[in-house]
Structure 1
Amino acid sequence: MSCNYAEGLSEYEDKGVLGLPEKFEATDKVGEKCLLLSKWIKEAKHVVVHTGAGISTASGIPDFRGPNGVWTLEKQGLKPEINVSFNEAIPTKTHMALKHLVEKELVHYIISQNIDGLHLRTGLPRTHLAELHGNMFIGQCDTCDSQFVRTTATSTVGQKYLGEFCKREVRGRSCRGKLKDTILDWEADLPENDLEMSDYHSSLADLNICLGTTLQIVPSGNLPLRCKKYGGKLVIVNLQSTKHDKKADLIINSYVDVVLEQVMKNLNLEIPEYCKLSDPTKNQLPISVVEWNISKSQIKILRKKFEAKQKDFREKKKLEAKDIKCNGVKRKRLLEKSSVLKKINKNIDVEDLPLEERLRMYKNS
């Protein structure tokens, strides 16, 4: 069962704010906001979606900090009533909609805090997905760091050995490494490649959309704010208040499936059905090997784009500072001329004259 994941983690006291009340906006209000969000998606050049546990509850996997979340109920000595196994769960409408939006190049990257593997199981390519907290369907080599898709969810968490060997071939022979699960325990370091890609994409985005997350876990929860420095927008879709509500340009309090259904309708797109043939965990031959790696070349390309954006931003700030300084000097000179003219034109209060007239007088003086 999916709750076994939580039970496999080490003891940890500070699990964030738990059990905040859920808020539901009126249907017409949600509709208006979905129209605005659809407009922003169409206008944006780089859209990044950040997903949390709230997008998977419709598949039967409980969230963590909701009124009936794993951590919330744990504090009361209880467990969620609804609890589907990771192997039995299938992608929700939100998962399938996001995969289709990536295919249509309306969403350019997805950054997930979820370990359930449902983004992977839609058929979403690794080139468009970062998994910051791991994936129950992935094994990683302890020697070469290569990742591989498994046909079943791991029975361990906390980066423990799976009893399997690396499937990567190096110069005609297999790597001698052993596979571990990729699920992070509390305070473990985030995967370097996933975090680097997430940081770059979040900064390059002119629109960061957060779905089903309270944004409490750091650094994952702070990534959506990266775009604000460069003038980007932040949208939050969640039933509970989040850590960054005050910084959001748009907040929608509704089920993520409801919002994605309306957004897809506004964009004249249909949400595809889940298909086992597109699921790499279900469509593997006995001898097939499905790798799940972020390429170094992909990181390098994105790094260059990010550095170029930083450079443009710094140059823009320098020009703005220069303009402010120049305007200050010009104003000082105008005030000095105004003082001279007041002495020349004793009967005229120069400051009361229109700007155009003052400039004409200054030039003639």
Structure 2
Amino acid sequence: METPKDKKASLVIHGFVDKVIAGVMDRLNMRIPPFVRIDLFQVILTHTLSSDKRFVNWILRVASVHGQKAPLPFIKYVEVSFLDGQNYKEAVLHKQPFQLKRRTVKTKIFEVLLKLNFSDGCGCLSSQIKVPIDFKVSTDCFNYDKDAILQKLRDTATGDPCCGRHEVIEKKPIPDPRSEATVYAIVTNVLQYNKTAPESNGSVMKGRLGGLNGIETSWKRSRSGKRKPRS
């Protein structure tokens, strides 16, 4: 659509922004890198001793980093199973916030397997994460190099376009109630620009300037180049 500054521009391009950028990159002979979507979530383990001190009552939550009651739009449901031959009952968590309640022996250390089933629009159906269950919560806070981890995920996803890869970016204790939160970064989509994608009518359009992939352009002479009228 027209803007008040169109008359001052040397070049006016009418078209969708994606097509404009694609056309410009094509004329510059530059490659459009894939878009890698990375989402964050946290796994929170909360536990208390039973009245007889023999067991531990614990809750495992899969929650948003923006708060335990904030939604996780990229996760449809979570499947929970137990590794190391533990005979604990498996569960499927459909309702957000996703949480699992169990009672186990105090001294036991084991692993829980979380299968995150993604919502529509993500690049894959699911991803699996192993979560160690250890009731000796550390009082230390582990802050990893978040920027380096996110860049590593992007580079890996770009080289081998596949979503579901994940890394831990932070671990922190929560004193009351006694809990430990682990923050994960996970690749949920990888989108690559398809240069040969046809238009909606099935044909590849050509621009008026022989480039810009069907974008209409018009050159305008700048005001500084206009001749001054004779007196």
Q: Normalized against structure 1, the TM-score is what?
A: 0.21
Task: Say which structure, 1 or 2, has more relative contact order (CA 8 Å, 6+ apart).
Answer: 2
Relative to its length, the structure with more helix (as a share) is: 1
